[in-house]
Amino acid sequence: MTTARIEKLDRLIEASVSAREAQTGSLLRQSFRRLKRSPMAVTGAVIVGLFVVVAVLGPVIAPYDPTAQTWGKEVFLNRNIFPGPRAENWFGLDHLGRDMFSRMIVGARQTLLVGVVATLIGFVAGAVIGGVAAAAGTFGGRWGERVEAVIMRAVDVALAIPMLLLALSVAALLGPSLSTVMIAVGVAQIPIFARLLRGSMLAQAHSDYVLAAVSLGVPKGRIVVSHILPNSLGPVIVQATLVLATAIIEAAALSYLGLGNPDPGSPEWGTMLADAQRFLSGAPQLAIYPAVGIIVTALGFTLLGEAMRESLDPRLRRQE
């Protein structure tokens, strides 16, 4: 075996290795890099970022109090008089003489709040149900399997009830309010999260490393908590991003049906959109501002979610 050092060879190897490392890196970093390259993800992130900034800073940026009917005497909805955009009110006035621009800005916060809280409700409750089912089914023996079967059939059936009807009856039970919308939309998402997490956990449970851990005698509880669960959360988190978009839209639908957030103290896009349906012919702008707000925001979350899903999905990755 020759041991002669060939400097040039070392240099060439080094160059070649670093070139390759630039292309690979860890799985997570790869996903992230792919995300950064994806126009979908970038667009989504920019929209979501802007939205969050507006939501956080809302009351600071807004030129006026969004609930003050300052120009109340200039609007006559029964005579179709809705002052449109002008110097002092960039987006014009709403049907009660409030500054539409301020309402849009401040409304972002409530809209975000509805989306986030509703998603969290669905996520947490769904994750608990799905997680328990999967854990019981995998490691709980005969009884565990029965528990899993019962839980999952219930989830199946819950999925059969149209989401909106579920939300509708939750809303009817709790009375119309902002928290009703959050709970109603959140509850409707539970079965989806439950199924997703269970599926994801089952896939992990049958993976080689878990089988290996089992055969090495690692306690089952620990396998679930420290191996299966963390590795199963990816798709669920992606789903959460997508659900955020759905939640914002569903909230608007509930408002349209008269069950939305009725508190005039806090404008919210869904309620604004639903309210404005009455003036669609006379003052379409009142519907279009919140509609565009909702659509763009929902699109932002969806783009981000879809891009994340694609970057995490090994099946799609293989195609590249």
Q: Does 157 bind other proteins (CB under 8 A)?
A: yes
Q: Out of 159, 214, 218, 233, which residue is the one contacting other proteins (CB under 8 A)?
A: 159
Least separation in angstroms between residue 18's CB and other proteins is 13
Site for other proteins (CB under 8 A): which residue of 187, 252, 272, 312? 252
State which of residues 49, 63, 72, 221 lies at the interface with other proteins (CB under 8 A).
72
Q: Which stretch binds other proteins (CB under 8 A): 51-59, 110-118, 217-225, 312-320?
A: 312-320
Report the residue number, 132 or 151, with the smaller CB distance to other proteins. Answer: 151
Q: Which helix (H) or strand (E) holds 196?
A: helix 178-205
Closer residue to other proteins in complex, CB, 215/318 = 318
Binding mask 160-179 for other proteins (x = CB under 8 A): xxxxxx--xx--xx-xxx--
Contacts of 268 (CB under 8 A, 6+ apart): 107, 110, 111, 114, 178, 251, 255, 260, 261
By CB under 8 A, residue 146 contacts other proteins: no
Type of residue found at 173: L
Instruction: Give the shortest CB-265-to-other proteins separation in angstroms.
Output: 7
Minimum CB distance to other proteins, residue 227 (Å): 27
Q: Which of 86, 153, 206, 222 binds other proteins (CB under 8 A)?
A: 153
Residues 188-227 that bind other proteins (CB under 8 A): none
| CA proximity to 276, closest of 93, 73, 102 | 93
The CB-of-79 to other proteins minimum distance in angstroms stands at: 5
* 282 near other proteins (CB under 8 A): yes
Stretch that binds other proteins, among 99-107, 203-211, 217-225, 281-289 (CB under 8 A): 281-289
Percentages helix, strand, coil for the chain, rounded to the nearest 5? 75, 0, 20
Q: Cβ closer to other proteins: 117 or 286?
A: 286
Cβ 87 vs Cβ 131: under 8 Å: no
Q: State which amino acid sits at residue 48.
A: V
Smallest gap, in angstroms, from Cβ of residue 93 to other proteins? Answer: 11
Give me the residue label for tokens 């590795």.
Answer: 231
What minimum distance in Å lies between the beta carbon of 266 and other proteins? 10
Token pair belonging to 7:
């400097």
The answer to whether 259 contacts other proteins (rule: CB under 8 A) is yes
| CB-based burial label for 106 (10 Å; 0-12, 13-18, 19+) | buried
The three-class DSSP label of residue 273 is helix
Cα 183 from Cα 165, distance rounded (Å)? 13
Stretch that binds other proteins, among 106-114, 116-124, 152-160, 209-217 (CB under 8 A): 152-160
Indicate the SS3 state at residue 290. Answer: helix
Please count the residues of this chain forming the interface with other proteins, following the rule CB under 8 A.
Answer: 85
Q: What SS3 state is found at 44?
A: helix
CA 192 to CA 202: how far, in whole Å? 15
Strand pairing partners for 99? 93
Q: Which residue number, 210 or 248, has a Cβ lying nearer to other proteins?
A: 248
